[in-house]
Amino acid sequence: MKKKKRSVGKALIILMVAFFYLPILYMIAFSFNEGKSLTVFTGFSLRWYKHMMESGDMMGALYTTFSVALIATVVSTVVGTISAIGLSKSRKLVWDLMEQVDNLPMMNPEIVTAIGFMLLFITFRVEKGYVTMLLAHIAFCIPYVILSVMPKIRSLDPNLADAAMDLGATPWQALLKVIVPQIMPGIVSGALIAFTMSVDDFIISYFVTGGGVKNLSIMVYTMSKRVNPSINAISTLMIVIIFLVLLAINLTSAFLAKRQEKTEIKKRRILVPAAVTCTAAVGLAVFLQFGGSGERRPFEGQTLHIYNWGEYTGENILADFEESTGAKVVMENFESNEQMYIKVANGEAYDILVPSDYMIQRLISEEYLQKLDKSKLDCLDKLSEAVKGLPYDPENEYSVPYFWGTVGIVYDKTKVDLEDLKREGYNIFLDEKYKGEIYLYDSERDSFMMALKALGYSMNTEDPEELSAAYDWLVQCVQTMKPEIVTDEIIDNMAQGRKALGLIYSGDATYVMGENENMGYYLPETGTNLWSDAMVIPANAKNPELAHAFINFASDYDGAYDNSSYVGYTSANQEVMGDLSGEGGDYEGIEAYLPRTDNDQDEVFVYNEKTRKEISSLWSRVKITASNAN
């Protein structure tokens, strides 16, 4: 019986270890994948490590992560240790009170702490960036150090320091030579916890940073919004660094245990390898980030601040632009047009934005954009006529198209009958033949576009009855069809054929079809959203001349080709669009890549604040209904 219990216990341990470590091994394996897929291994390659090492953003994030972690660890360990020692000499009432104050930040939800720091910096008009991230990390690490040191101090003889001073030691010597060695295990534990917390932190860092300063957690979050296998490469690098640190600590500890019997020496030397290894990692990141020099170029020493969608640029375009101009590019990413608008409306300065059509219309109407100086642009003649002169900017006075496309239905040809699509259009999302086999995209605009087009209405309708009918259509869909409401996870899920069909952007469908030959893309004849994202220059841009140079660079053949071939969205450059979709091109035979331009029912979204708010409210109700139905 005992043997049987032991066997069950061993099996459970094995399962637990597998549960924790198999995903890590899976990630490491796919960091060497030749293709872009995060689930299908197509061949061994160091492509993503090369991309990671050449990426200024990734190496900058690595540098920021470890430099902030090391500085925050040192400062918080010193401050936390001194605070704990000081509190030990305080009255019990003060000790108990400060203990509760120390526990509060650790028990608070991290989002509350993050918002608190953000409001503090905004109130005192502190410009967010590296310094604010560092200060926040120091602040939230100190309580963990105090918590680790306190038990060791409580276990000390309260007369220890007095005894040392009676024997001739100064107060400072008593502290350093008597008290600190006795509590060193607590200090080491506190330092390691502080370092781990800082490296791992995302939420607080996300709210207190600015100016393009990102640590690895923010970088990975941004990259995960779209398929980017560099996530695997940089995560693997992190694991290697941490493994080397732990290996060095343990080997040194074992070596010193054999060679030294004095506890004090062992404790003092345990930290050295960790510090050396981490410092070496930071040094490597600094060298990769800032090393190298060259001849003086047109915009040498200047900085271009871009605010763009996550994973919306090619592998080489930013590095190539920096190389050709001598300028530094700082790119921040947003997840929605509304998030971008809030920052712009609050006065944050960027040199280039890449919003969508309807948001450009709003920014123009509210005078947040400046007109382009067309004497500095040589790219307009290279663009497709289909993306010029659109309703939101008829004369292209404010915007130069970046990507464009449609919203349609991606479907598995082995599960969905094309005749059903042709007959039903968007109403296929109500066909119970496909119940439980559909994805809805978590976008209020595009979901209502689908419903309105299915009912034969304009997607820009302001009629309350038509909007109500579209709401009823969506409610019927979520109640009867049991759809999964997703965002960018639809990309890899459909590439793996996990459901029959879903609503998707054409650029994402391009990737899906490239990964899985069984996937198709269909645009109902009742019309769709013919969208475009474009580069604009804010009214408060600090470097509009450099912004014009980047617009030219991104619209020219090489920049546009790099963007479109990597991201998968349709280029606004006519030649690039033809080459990528033509014979031998990356997207030959993939109909999703070329947007439809011959259907009168296709529309461009028009901004209407009243309608937007109503649709937003209705979509929230649809999602609540979906949650209850599932």
Domain residue limits, the chain: 2-49, 55-290, 303-404+532-581, 407-529+600-629
Return the CATH number of the domain spanning residue range 407-529+600-629: 3.40.190.10
Q: How are the residues of the chain apportioned to helix, strand and coil, as percentages rounded to the nearest 5?
A: 60, 10, 30
Q: Which range, 153-167, 200-214, 232-246, is most confident?
A: 200-214
Topology match between the domains 55-290 and 407-529+600-629: no
Q: How far apart are CA 316 and CA 55, in angstroms?
A: 8
- Compute the average pLDDT of residues 469-497: 93
Which is more confidently placed, 457 or 8?
A: 457
| Predicted pLDDT at 48 | 86
Which is more confidently placed, 294 or 595?
A: 595
Cα angle value 214/220/224 (rounded, 5°) = 135
Contacts of 571-577 with C-beta under 8 Å, sequence gap 24+, read: 571/403, 572/383, 572/384, 572/387, 572/400, 572/401, 572/402, 572/403, 572/404, 572/532, 573/382, 573/383, 573/384, 574/382, 574/383, 574/384, 574/385, 575/382, 577/384
Least confident range of 219-228, 327-336, 491-500, 533-542: 219-228
Name the pLDDT band for 225 (thresholds 50, 70, 90): low
Name the pLDDT band for 58 (thresholds 50, 70, 90): confident
Q: Is 64 exposed, middle or buried (0-12, 13-18, 19+ CB in 10 A)?
A: buried
- Compute the average pLDDT of residues 176-201: 92
| Predicted pLDDT at 411 | 98
Least confident range of 30-39, 196-205, 533-542, 598-607: 30-39
Q: Which residues contact 114 (CB under 8 A, 6 or more apart)?
A: 203, 204, 206, 207, 208
* CATH pick for 303-404+532-581 out of 2.60.40.10, 3.40.50.300, 3.30.1360.10, 3.40.190.10: 3.40.190.10
| Predicted pLDDT at 160 | 86
pLDDT digits (tens, 9 = 90+) for 516-544: 999 999 999 999 999 999 999 999 999 99
Three-state DSSP state, 255: helix
Least confident range of 156-160, 213-217, 373-377: 156-160
Within 10 angstroms of residue 52's Cβ, the number of other Cβ atoms is 23
Name the residue type at position 492. Answer: D
Three-state DSSP state, 263: helix
CB 441 within 8 A of CB 486: yes
| Predicted pLDDT at 464 | 95
Return the CATH number of the domain spanning residue range 55-290: 1.10.3720.10
| Predicted pLDDT at 266 | 45
Q: How far apart are CA 260 and CA 254, in angstroms?
A: 10
Which is more confidently placed, 629 or 330?
A: 330
| Predicted pLDDT at 270 | 45
Q: How far apart are CA 227 and CA 235, in angstroms?
A: 15
pLDDT digits (tens, 9 = 90+) for 74-117: 999 999 999 998 888 788 778 778 878 888 888 888 999 999 99
Q: At what angle do helices 357-365 and 337-345 cross, to 10 degrees?
A: 20
Q: What is the DSSP code (8-state) at residue 354?
A: -
Name the pLDDT band for 261 (thresholds 50, 70, 90): low
Name which of 289, 113, 286, 79 is nearest 204 in CA terms: 113
| Predicted pLDDT at 483 | 95
Q: Where are the beta strands (DSSP E) in 537-580?
A: 570-571
Q: How far apart are CA 270 and CA 256, in angstroms?
A: 9
- Compute the average pLDDT of residues 329-342: 90
| Predicted pLDDT at 289 | 47
